[in-house]
Structure 1
């Protein structure tokens, strides 16, 4: 029995090493077919399952009064399952921001279609990288890093498109995550070196609408 111990340890190490490699290269799962037919297709395979019409409302639509993100990800467009791609249209009325947030699973490539946009991200050394984008510019936000976009123009709205190397890149918005999920006020007050009253005021903004 004792002679089997080194082999068991070796196999355990091998399995653990394989798991680490898998985690390091984690992404959307590979598929062994050309595509995955969404359940709602009921077995019907035609051009409709590859077409997403959710952005049609943008044509001729009046600009929103607050920042608005419209997504074509796995949730909205199930045919993206296994294809490692998704899309978002970002609308910025003048003076609005997409608050600091992260995408835990993949990087974001933003293309500014109209106006100017202040963008930035913070790396793991707490170094801030910022840029003022002009119409036609691209900007890359690395995977998992905190980043933001802000339309500093007081008069003109901005429009941008973002692509992701995942059908479900995920979004963790710091205001909502910190102040609208029930984290104890005292924990937040100590963390931000402020008082309970300030934390309670901050919670009013991101609180979910009834």
Structure 2
């Protein structure tokens, strides 16, 4: 009887493991039609056109790091197409803090300026590079990465392409310090005190 119970538990664990592997390997699902249109939407050339980047043409640079996205939320025609882009604008001295994209790799193309980039693999090895205008860099799927414009006066602009219509972004600082994780847990994890954690949280709190 005990061996039968163990076998059933082992089989359940095996099935669960396969399910987890399938979830981890999942990307945008394949579709059986050329495109997916929301209900009650007129499908013509306008549906497949995104105009949200027009403000970037001839516009001034922002005073802080800014991301302009054309992903599923902004551009519904991307549903099922496994592609999206973002335009990244870096004033001098600004950074895109460490973050991950859980559902896609990121291919960054630097179109102006210089940019320090890097990612950390699962062995905690850091891979960095200083990109020049015209360079590309790939951030592997799901790994922590960042970009930093170290120039004192010059801005930098990059375009990032993703292999998912909804790559997702998880900001490491915001996830840790703006998600109501108990201060004691964070203090113990970072081997510091609660006062330091509260100071970090205050600095990352949304500006009213």
**Does TM, scored on the shorter chain, surpass 0.5?**
yes
Structure 1 segment 2-81 matched on structure 2, within 5 A: 19=19, 22-39=22-39, 42-81=40-79
Partner residue, 1:190: 188
3-state SS of 2:47 partner: helix
Partner residue, 1:153: 151
Partner residue, 1:114: 112
Partner residue, 1:102: 100
Aligned residues: 202
Report the Cα distance in structure 2 between the residues aligned to 1:197 and 1:12, rounded to whole angstroms: 45
TM-score (norm 1): 0.89
Question: Contact 1:120 / 1:131 at 8 angstroms: preserved in 2?
Answer: yes
Which blocks of at least 5 consecutive residues in structure 1 are unaligned? 1-7
Query: Deviation at 1:19?
Result: 3.6
Query: Deviation at 1:38?
Result: 2.9
Q: Tell me how large the CA RMSD over aligned residues is.
A: 2.2
Report the Cα distance in structure 2 between the residues aligned to 1:162 and 1:77, rounded to whole angstroms: 16
Query: Deviation at 1:205?
Result: 2.2
TM-score (norm 2): 0.90
Report the Cα distance in structure 1 between the residues aligned to 2:64 and 2:102, rounded to whole angstroms: 25
Query: Deviation at 1:18?
Result: 6.1
Structure 1 segment 122-137 matched on structure 2, within 5 A: 122-137=120-135
Question: Contact 1:108 / 1:164 at 8 angstroms: preserved in 2?
Answer: yes
Partner residue, 1:162: 160
3-state SS of 1:156 partner: coil
Which blocks of at least 5 consecutive residues in structure 2 are unaligned? 1-7
Q: Does 1:178 align with 2:176?
A: yes
Report the Cα distance in structure 1 between the residues aligned to 2:181 and 2:14, rounded to whole angstroms: 39
Question: Contact 1:38 / 1:49 at 8 angstroms: preserved in 2?
Answer: no
Question: Contact 1:180 / 1:206 at 8 angstroms: preserved in 2?
Answer: yes
The 1:15–1:189 alpha-carbon spacing in structure 2 relative to 1, beyond 3 Å, is closer
